[in-house]
Each structure stands twice: as C-alpha cells, then as structure tokens.
Amino acid sequence: MDLASLSRFGFFTLPDYSMIAVTNAIEACRMANRVAGREVYSWQLLTMDGVPSTASNGLALSPCMRLGAALPPDVLFVCGGVHVRAAVKKPMLDMLRRQARHGRLLGALCTGAFALAEAGLLEGYRCAIHWENLPASREEFSNTEFVPDLFVVDRDRITCTGGIAPLDMMLSLIHARLGRSFAEEVSAAFIHERMRMSGERQPLAAHDRASSSHPLLAQAVALIEANLANDLPASEIAERLNVSPRQLQRFFKRHMGTTLAHFAQELRLKRAQHLLQQTDLRITDVASLCGFSSAAYFSAAYARYFGYAPSRESHKSAITGA
C-alpha cells in the first residue's frame, strides 16, 4: 500500500460509534490542510442510507452522505464504538464484501474491526482493536492476528484502536505524504506531545501502566496474561524470572498494592466478563478458558467479585470501546 497516495477518506459510522475516534481522524486532516494552506485531504461521513448515525455520546455529526452516492474514497474506515455487534447487519456486511471485491482499501476505527472480521475481510491479517476487545476478538476470529498495537497497516487494511489513537494513525499517513517535519507541525498544533508509531502498544490498563516502569513487574504481568487459562503458580513465575517466590510476592505487593494471586484472579475474572459479554461462549467454556477448575467455582468467584452471577451477562450488550 502506498500510504503517500492516500488523500480521500470515507468514515462509515455505525450506530453508537466513538465520536472521539472519528473526530480525531478528521481533525488531523483539517489541520493538515490549514498548515499546508491548501486542500491536501478530503473526507466524508457515510452511512448506508445517508442519515447521520448517533454516536455513543448521543450526538451526531453532519453532513453525512449515502455511501453509494459519495465520491469513492481512497480508504473506507468502518467506525465502531459500543454495541457494535448489534450494529452489524447483513446488508452492511454485503456492502463491505463488495467494496473489498472492487479493490477498495478498508480500515477500521475503535471496534469497527469487528465488522470487517465478521465480514471475513480480516482473515490472515494483523489487526488492531480496542484493548478491551482483544480477548473476545481473539477467541471469536482465530484466523485474524489481533495485536495490542495502537494501529496496524497490513497490505490493504488499516486498523486502529479508539480514543485519540486515530490522531496518531493519521499523523503517520501525513508523515508518509508530506514528510516528518510537516506531520510534527500538525501534531504540535494539537498540543500533542509526540507522534506515536504503529508498533507501540496501547496503554492497556492501570496495572499495565504501573508495571511499565518496573521490568520485573512487566515480565510477571506478561506471564500472567499469557497463561490465564493455566493459572500459572507464583513459584513457576518466580522461577522463570530468576527470583525467589518470596521476593516476587513482596515486590508485587509493594508496587501493585495487592498480592500476585489476587491480581491474577482479578485479571481472569475481567477477561471472563469480556468473553461473556462479547461472545456466544457458554459459561463452562469461559470458565475453562480463564483458568477456573469448575463452572461452580467460577460462578462463585464471579459473583463475589462483580456482585451478580455470570448468567446475567449477555454478549448482546457489548463489544464496547472508547
């Protein structure tokens, strides 16, 4: 893909899309035009029928055009947010498949990658999606490599997480077309501290940020996250890190404010919640995938932590994103 050639962008907004993700991408284009003193980039908001979609904050952006009546964009970004599973309908999936057959470059913002994956358009691709949706997406779409990067360019697909990450993605495209110094000037206009690259990880959660300044903690957290289905013992984690279990426990308590066992249990329960909300997996399957020895033990632990039984969760309410 020649990133320098991309100048026309279509933002196909789903119901309950993330407005911050879409507006960050559009604002980067607007500011690039302002800094250049000419129109370098153009953009269109698109829906299936031309009626503006309502974002997750209750507002709508306009003007909006019907996809079939719009000037074909260089890249069509599917823009998701909360309740993306409910927003993805067969006519839209058929439309995305037609776009792909016609050679259209496709992209996604926030949870929009779910729509591309559901349409079978991400098989064999590396892909970015909001960190809350990584576990469920990996389980549901095993032929797609979902990674925790801010954004990913893989052949004819450009996928990006939510929040302000689309600003970084667009700055990368501006860099390719107009050079680094120009992109940095656009970034500075937004008081954006620095341009983040595609290979950078999303700032996942509080524990991820807390461990980032402590290499030992970062390695321990990575081991726990990679082995949630196995409930890796603290002794084995300590052995892999070449420290004693006592040292590891003390270090964990001092810097994370909790015990290693409690932290691991919390991670497993939160992943279980995401899987229950975002997939069709049965409770017994979720319990096994998250390292619980039985569905009964899992249900009891879940109820203690969240205050209600796992049977109350429903995938119909979620895939959510920023």
In a domain, 194, yes or no: no
pLDDT of residue 230: 83
Same domain membership, residue 81 and residue 171: yes
In a domain, 244, yes or no: yes
Alpha carbon distance 322, 319 (integer Å):
11
Query: pLDDT above 70 covers what percent of the chain?
Result: 94
> Which one of 189, 220, 237 terminates a domain?
189
Alpha carbon distance 313, 22 (integer Å):
29
Asked whether 133 and 278 are in contact (CB, 8 A), the reply is yes
> Which one of 136, 164, 189 terminates a domain?
189
List, for residues 289-321, the tens digit of each pLDDT value: 898 989 999 999 999 888 888 988 754 444 455
Alpha carbon distance 149, 290 (integer Å):
23
Same domain membership, residue 167 and residue 18: yes
Collect all residues with Cβ–Cβ distance below 8 Å to 16 and sequence separation of at least 6: 53, 54, 55, 56, 81, 82, 83, 84, 87
Same domain membership, residue 95 and residue 55: yes
Residue 205 has pLDDT above 60, yes or no: no
Alpha carbon distance 120, 128 (integer Å):
16
In a domain, 321, yes or no: no
* Residue indicated by tokens 């203690």: 304
Give the domain CATH number at 49.
Answer: 3.40.50.880
Range of the domain at 94: 3-189
Give the domain CATH number at 283.
Answer: 1.10.10.60
Domain total for the chain? Answer: 2
pLDDT of residue 251: 81
Alpha carbon distance 282, 280 (integer Å):
7
Q: Is the peptide bond before 135 cis (omega within 30 degrees of 0)?
A: no
Residue 266, φ and ψ in degrees, nearest 5: -65, -45
Same domain membership, residue 173 and residue 30: yes
Same domain membership, residue 263 and residue 178: no
Same domain membership, residue 173 and residue 214: no
Report the length, in residues, of the chain.
Answer: 322
In a domain, 198, yes or no: no
Asked whether 291 and 302 are in contact (CB, 8 A), the reply is no
Same domain membership, residue 141 and residue 30: yes
Provide the token pair at 259.
Answer: 């015990």
List, for residues 70-101, the tens digit of each pLDDT value: 889 999 999 999 888 889 999 999 999 999 99
Name the DSSP class of 258. Answer: S
Same domain membership, residue 156 and residue 62: yes
In a domain, 232, yes or no: yes
In a domain, 201, yes or no: no
In a domain, 322, yes or no: no
Question: What average pLDDT does the structure give for the chain?
Answer: 88
Provide the token pair at 163.
Answer: 């929040």
In this structure, the number of other CB atoms found within 10 A of the CB of residue 71 comes to 9
pLDDT of residue 274: 80
Same domain membership, residue 242 and residue 183: no
Give 3-state DSSP helix, strand, coil % of the chain, rounded to 5. 50, 15, 35
Same domain membership, residue 117 and residue 14: yes
In this structure, the number of other CB atoms found within 10 A of the CB of residue 74 comes to 17
Same domain membership, residue 161 and residue 40: yes
Output 74 or 131, whichever has higher pLDDT. 74
In a domain, 43, yes or no: yes
List, for residues 216-255, the tens digit of each pLDDT value: 887 888 888 888 888 788 899 999 989 898 888 888 887 7
Asked whether 46 and 11 are in contact (CB, 8 A), the reply is yes
Burial class (CB within 10 angstroms; exposed 0-12, middle 13-18, buried 19+) of 149: buried
Same domain membership, residue 234 and residue 109: no
Provide the token pair at 115.
Answer: 């729509």
Task: Say whether 275 sits in a helix, a strand or coil.
Answer: helix
